[in-house]
Amino acid sequence: MVAIDEAAEVIKARLKKLGISQAEFSKRVGKSPGWAGARFLPNVENMVRYLAYKEPATLERILHVLQWTPEEFSRETGIQLPGAEIPGSIPVVRYRIPVIDAGAGPPMWNEGAEYITLHIPELRGKREEELFAVRVKGDSMEPTLRDGDIVVFWTGGAPEPGRIVAVHVHWDGVVAKRLQRYNGSWYLYSDNPDHPPVPLTERDRILGVAATLVRKM
């Protein structure tokens, strides 16, 4: 457990390890480029508590960018997330949910669907029947998502800018991309800059928003 006043340094080290600048971190969580350095990092504990109650979607995006679960964030930074259990005591729940390979298409939840059983920290407020998983292929979402990772998506989540979503793209099956809005239009962005963004069309369908990541070991 680190001291609270070291939390900013721990997060900076995490960003460096992931190859993400403070400006890029700010952008990915839906803030202006200077937000991390000016507001978040100088007082991590207070900002986390503020976001937990006022902007929970932003806090969720922070965890996704840092590639930490709530308990991992608490353990590494020494800051207990409001409403969370003490690190190490968060109950692990068995979920049996349909899984799709990225690039393949729906349907899900049918008799022929492939199912996967995951033992992961409890996803409070999310029923098993509202969840499905996508098995990542390729490098388009690196470093956030890697080839072979499994991302659990929630069909009840709000598809807000900056969030990772599962989308059935009419020409490429199901993909996991970051949703962004630009000049009044919606786009699907890859975290890997080698892959250009693509517009979201009326023929595409957002299936769910990312709830948790199961990292390929």
pLDDT tens digits for range 102-152: 877 665 666 677 889 988 878 888 999 999 999 999 999 988 888 999 999
- Compare 183 and 172 and report the one with higher pLDDT: 183
Q: 43 and 120 share a domain?
A: no
Q: How many domains does the chain have?
A: 2
**What local confidence, expressed as pLDDT, does residue 94 receive?**
87
Give the pLDDT confidence of 45-55 residue by residue, as tens digits: 888 888 877 78
Amino acid at 150: I
Point out the domain boundary residue: 17, 46, 77.
77
Q: 55 and 102 share a domain?
A: no
**103: burial class by Cβ within 10 Å (0-12, 13-18, 19+)?**
middle
Domain assignment of residue 58, given as a range: 4-77
Q: Please list the alpha-helical segments (H only) found in the chain.
A: 7-18, 22-28, 35, 44-54, 56-66, 70-77
CATH number for the domain harbouring residue 8: 1.10.260
Which percentage of the chain shows pLDDT scores above 90?
Answer: 42
Does residue 30 sit within a domain? Answer: yes
Mean pLDDT of 58-79: 85
Is the pLDDT at 87 greater than 50? The verdict is no
Q: 73 and 96 share a domain?
A: no
Q: 114 and 199 share a domain?
A: yes
Cβ proximity of 79 and 45 under 8 Å: yes
Q: 63 and 161 share a domain?
A: no
**Closest C-alpha among 40, 215, 34 to residue 142:** 215
User: Do β-strands 185-189 and 198-199 pair in parallel, antiparallel, or remain unpaired?
Assistant: antiparallel
Q: 15 and 54 share a domain?
A: yes
CATH number for the domain harbouring residue 152: 2.10.109.10
Q: How many CB atoms lie within 10 A of CB 76?
A: 18
Does residue 83 sit within a domain? Answer: no
Q: 106 and 142 share a domain?
A: yes
Q: 21 and 98 share a domain?
A: no
Does residue 85 sit within a domain? Answer: no
Point out the domain boundary residue: 44, 77, 110.
77
**What local confidence, expressed as pLDDT, does residue 106 receive?**
63
- The span from the first CA to the last CA of the chain, in angstroms, equals 24
Point out the domain boundary residue: 77, 101, 123.
77
Cβ proximity of 101 and 95 under 8 Å: no
